[in-house]
Structure 1
Amino acid sequence: MSDLSQKRLCKKCLLYDFPQAQYFTHLYEYIDSLDDDRKVDEIEYDKRLNICIACEDYFQGMCRICGCFVELRAIIGENECAAPNKKW
């Protein structure tokens, strides 16, 4: 194996490998670690999440269009809705 392929080896990168709900902890830790200048304010974040939750393509915290966790997608200011008609 080359050095590059060894560096890419991930021992726990699939969600089902994590104990139940631990991957949500990692998601929230990642969100918290983002620089504030990359995040939208709390009002905009709540607005985006409410739009996602009401969307027909929302399923258990994920977007069926792009497969993202909506909480992560919605917090980052430069992101937009994945739907063709861009709901936010």
Structure 2
Amino acid sequence: MEKNTRVCKKCLLRDMGEAEVFENMYQYIANLSPEDKVSDEEYEQRLMICRQCSHLLSGMCGKCGCYVEMRAAMKVRHCPDVPGRW
């Protein structure tokens, strides 16, 4: 049985245009297996919480440096703030 794989082009952000960065991020999220991804409702709830957080800066978390939209999509990831917000 072939396992679903995620593809990472290993590009530097400075080498890509902003539209390509977002396209790659959303493609990565879309390719997560259902077992690894939170429900659409939980994803939107997490993003709503992140939108209100003082650590959010240009789509990135000031606590850990991740893209919050990628982190929020994964079941095994949680808010890095102490205490975590989600």
Task: Tell me if TM exceeds 0.5.
Answer: yes
Provide the secondary structure at the position in 1 that maps to 2:85: coil
**Corresponding position: 1:84 with 2:82:** yes
Aligned partners of 1:58 and 1:67: how far apart in 2? 10
Structure 2 segments unaligned to the other structure (5+ residues): 1-8
Give the drift of 1:12: 6.0
- Return the TM-score normalized by structure 1: 0.83
Aligned counterpart in structure 1 of residue 19 of structure 2, from 21, 26, 35? 21
Structure 1 segments unaligned to the other structure (5+ residues): 1-10
- Return the TM-score normalized by structure 2: 0.85
Dislocated runs of 4+, deviation >6 Å: none
Identity of aligned residues (%): 42
**Corresponding position: 1:44 with 2:42:** yes
Report the number of matched residues: 78
Give the drift of 1:19: 2.3
CA deviation map 1:25-74 (0-9, x unaligned): 00000101110111010111011000011000001111000000000000
1:67 alignment partner AA? G
Report if the CA contact (8 A) 1:12-1:18 is conserved: no
The alignment yields a C-alpha RMSD, in angstroms, of 1.4
2:74 alignment partner AA? I
Provide the secondary structure at the position in 2 that maps to 1:55: coil
Task: Evaluate the alpha carbon distance shift between residue 12 and residue 18 of structure 1 in structure 2; reply closer, same or farther with a 3 A threshold.
Answer: farther
Give the drift of 1:20: 3.0
Aligned counterpart in structure 1 of residue 68 of structure 2, from 64, 67, 70? 70
Task: Evaluate the alpha carbon distance shift between residue 18 and residue 48 of structure 1 in structure 2; reply closer, same or farther with a 3 A threshold.
Answer: same
> Which has the higher Rg, Structure 1 or Structure 2?
1
